[in-house]
Amino acid sequence: MKAISLFSGGGGMDFAARSLGIDVLFANDVIPETELTFASSFPETDFHLEDIRQISKFPSVDLVTGGYPCQSFSLGGNRNPANDPRTFLFKEFARVVDTVKPKYFVAENVSGLKSIQDGNWLKLQLDTYNEIAGVGYNIATAVVNARDYGVPQRRKRVIIVGVRKDLGVYYHFPKPTHAKPDIAAKKGLLPYASHGEAIRHLPLDVPGEYYERPHDPEGNFSWYYMSRNRKASWLEPSYTIVANFRHTTLHPASPTMKLLWSNLADGWKQKWEFSSEYEHLLHDPTLPVLEKPRRLSWREAALIQTFPEGYEPAGKLEKKFEQIGNAVPPMLMRAILQQIVSGEGLLQFPSEHEQYLTVGKQLSLLSEEQDIEPIES
Give the number of C-alpha atoms closer than 13 A to the C-alpha of residue 360, restricted to the C-beta side. Answer: 0
Query: Does any domain span residue 113?
Result: yes
SS3 79: coil
Hey, what amino acid is at 239? Y
Query: Does any domain span residue 270?
Result: no
Hey, what amino acid is at 30? V
Query: Does any domain span residue 235?
Result: no
The 10 Å Cβ neighbour count of residue 51 is 12
Query: Does any domain span residue 170?
Result: yes
| Residuewise pLDDT in 10s, the chain (377 residues) | 999 999 999 999 999 999 999 999 999 999 999 999 999 999 999 999 999 999 999 999 999 999 988 554 444 555 555 555 556 788 999 999 999 999 999 999 877 665 544 557 788 888 888 778 678 899 999 999 999 999 999 999 999 999 999 999 999 999 999 999 999 999 999 999 999 999 999 999 999 999 998 777 778 998 889 988 899 999 999 999 999 999 999 999 999 999 999 988 876 688 899 999 999 999 999 999 999 999 999 999 999 999 999 999 999 999 999 999 999 999 999 999 999 999 999 999 987 766 554 333 443 334 333 444 433 32
Angstrom distance (rounded) from CA 327 to CA 155: 11
Residues 6+ apart with CB under 8 A from 98: 132, 133, 134
Residue 69's pLDDT is what?
Answer: 82
Query: Does any domain span residue 203?
Result: no
Closest residue by Cα to residue 112 from 151, 145, 143: 143
Angstrom distance (rounded) from CA 134 to CA 216: 59
Are residues 320 and 9 in contact, defined by beta-carbon separation less than 8 angstroms? no
Question: Phi/psi at 248 (nearest 5 deg)?
Answer: -60, 140
Query: Does any domain span residue 305?
Result: no
Query: Does any domain span residue 221?
Result: no
Per-residue CA distances from 7 to 30, 49, 171, 339 (Å): 8, 10, 23, 22
Per-residue CA distances from 196 to 200, 239, 243 (Å): 6, 12, 20
Rounded to a whole number, what is the largest CA-CA distance in the chain? 65
Structural domain total, the chain = 1
Q: Estimate to the nearest angstrom the gap between the alpha carbon of 284 and the chain centroid.
A: 30
Residue 123's pLDDT is what?
Answer: 82
Per-residue CA distances from 360 to 128, 164, 228 (Å): 13, 21, 36
Neighbour-count burial of 63, counting CB atoms closer than 10 A to its CB (0-12 exposed, 13-18 middle, 19+ buried): buried
Residue 85's pLDDT is what?
Answer: 53
Question: Domain of 142: which CATH number?
Answer: 3.40.50.150
The catalytic site residues sit at: 70
The 10 Å Cβ neighbour count of residue 126 is 20
Angstrom distance (rounded) from CA 126 to CA 158: 12
Query: Does any domain span residue 277?
Result: no
Q: What is the DSSP letter of 153?
A: B
Q: Which domain holds residue 333?
A: 2-178+327-365
Q: What is the DSSP letter of 46?
A: E
pTM above 0.85, yes or no: yes
